[in-house]
Amino acid sequence: MATKALPPGAVHRRALFGSLDADGWTWAGLKAFVWFLLFIVLLGYVPDRAYYFTVGRTVEIDAPILLWSPVNLCPAENHGLPCPAPAGAVVPWTIAPQQLALPAFRTNGAAAQLATHLIYFGGTDGTTSSKSTYVAEVKDGVFGAWTAGPDLPEARSGAAATVLSGAAYLIGGNGPDGKPTDTVWTLPTKGDKADLGTWAPVKGLTLPDPRAGAVAVAVTDGILVAGGRGPDGTPSSKVWKSTVDAKGVLGAFTEQAPLVAGVADASGAVVGDFVWVYGGTDAKGPTNAVQVGHFGPPGTALPGASAAPAPSAAAVAASPAASGVAQPQGVGRWASGATLNLPAPRTGASGFASNGTIYLAGGSDGHVPKSELYWAIPDSNGLLTDGWHHLSNDDLPGGLTGTSPVISGSNAILLGGTSQGGPTNSVTQASVAPLEPFFQLGLFGVVIPGLQIPGEIGQQLGYLSAAGAGSVNFALFVVLAVVFNHRPQVSAWIDRRRNRGRPVRR
């Protein structure tokens, strides 16, 4: 087939190192795509980075594709953690100055934060149970000296505690005679400043049986109480739930599916739709068993290696659902298995959850207080696919058991406890949010320090930075477009500038 000849004097132009026809659609489409990307970068990405450079501690440049970073620099505030810090790791623990220690030696007490009040209540000095309450003002883990707060109605140690709807609840525990009790007390806040009220029994609400060393956790519609010791001292597998009504009043405790195995002095936490009960003492002594239950509507299934039996036929017949009444959410089945277990048996440890991670600090192996911190990150199915983690940097300064944990902002605070020397009044603290590297250099991206201008001023300056970058880039975009589309004229202008002042050859 014959091809058309070019007109006289015409030149067949090639582009991209001769691989494309300069007058063809492929080259035209490629140029349009490049201009489109340039438009997004200059008028979208760069102003966005300018804003975050002003207000952020760091600014990421193509960090989503940072794939691998051989260069990482972390701030000194991480106190020797690997850089970057592993997911779930905490900044190493420190002991608060003596002027911020508890006013008295206490162990096996309970703690909570209500508004800006950090509260420690009950406990024992190793001999006698106490009804004292100590209060310190706190903001994001920074707290002041302790003062006396409202006393408990009666001395308690080994009680379970939780916070629901702005009120603290103290459940069960050993009384002055050292025997388990069935009491449920509450400490509300009042007024615009959320001042503390006084401890009082919850009207008409007691545990079905006396319990000490139980786990209590707040769920979306009430309080769950699991395990603990009864009057016979045997670890129990019973689980009860008190559900709030439309007026926010707690109702009578109803029985839930039992734990896989009875346990006392265990740790408890809620992450997503799952309730975790881990460690503690079972019928054989300190255990490393972890039990997890799915909290949700009746009949929800739970993945797991082994499960506790479902409620008996009599319990089902007596349930609200059997009467045609809408049944509240609860735990229908518990699971446990070797893939969930702790690395070592622990009882009397401090358990807490933060940022989707469950932690266990200290505790005893049945012989001496231990210092290890373990943590795990559950997945959406209530499984620990990566198991439990341990980092020597994150261990407590010394072995502790019987401490009372509180999460305040991004800080974990452990109050009191028992060391190898006996009960202590120490306060141990760590940040559960280590800082990210302030500089990273990877294959396809970089993280650089930002100005981190705080508050409203920083935000307004960030907007100005973004607007300025956008305006400058728009002007640059227009200049580039003019140059690209008037290349002959621009080349001629450049030549004239170069030749200005040169002698003319004759």
Task: Give the model confidence (pLDDT) of 96-112 as tens digits.
Answer: 999 999 999 999 999 99
Residues 8-34: what's their mean pLDDT? 79
Confidence at 329, pLDDT banded by 50, 70, 90: confident
pLDDT at 5 over 70: no
Yes or no: say if 134 and 105 are a contact pair by the CB < 8 Å rule. Answer: no
Predicted pLDDT at 304: 47
Per-residue pLDDT for 321 more than 50?
no
The pLDDT of residue 337 is above 90: yes
pLDDT value, residue 39: 86
Give the pLDDT confidence score for residue 296 in this predicted structure.
Answer: 86
Q: What is the pTM of this model?
A: 0.82
CA distances from 281 to 56, 188, 226, 246, 290 (A): 46, 32, 13, 37, 12
Per-residue pLDDT, 299: 57
Question: Is the pLDDT assigned to residue 417 strictly greater than 90?
Answer: yes
User: Residue 360 and residue 163: Cα distance in Å, rounded?
Assistant: 19
Higher confidence at residue 332 or residue 359? 359
Residue of higher predicted confidence among 242 and 332: 242
Cα–Cα distance for residue pair 293/307, rounded to 1 Å: 9
CB atoms within 10 A of CB 181: 22
Tokens of 456: 């409203």
Residue 325: which pLDDT band, with cuts at 50, 70 and 90?
very low
Q: What is the pLDDT of residue 425?
A: 96
Q: Is the pLDDT of residue 256 over 80?
A: yes
| 84 upstream amide cis, omega within 30 of 0 | yes
- Structure confidence at residue 478 (pLDDT): 87
Tell me the mean pLDDT in the region 369-379: 97
- Summarised one tens digit per residue, pLDDT across range 421-434 is 999 999 999 999 99
Mean pLDDT of 223-242: 96
pLDDT at residue 139, as a whole number: 83
The arithmetic mean of pLDDT across residues 460-485, rounded, is 90
Give the burial class of 154: count Cβ atoms within 10 A of its Cβ; 0-12 exposed, 13-18 middle, 19 or more buried.
Answer: middle
> Does the structure show a pLDDT above 90 at 367?
yes
Contact 399, 362 (CB under 8 A): yes
**What pLDDT shows up at residue 503?**
65
Question: Tokens 């008028």 correspond to what residue?
Answer: 43
Measure the CA–CA gap between 211 and 255, rounded to whole angstroms: 14
Average pLDDT over residues 405-409: 94
pLDDT in tens, 379-395: 999 999 999 999 999 99
**pLDDT at residue 66, as a whole number:** 66
What is residue 500's predicted lDDT score, i.e. its pLDDT? Answer: 73
CB 394 within 8 A of CB 429: no
Q: Is the pLDDT of residue 1 over 70?
A: no
Tens of pLDDT, residues 263-277: 999 999 999 999 999
Mean pLDDT over all residues of the chain? 88
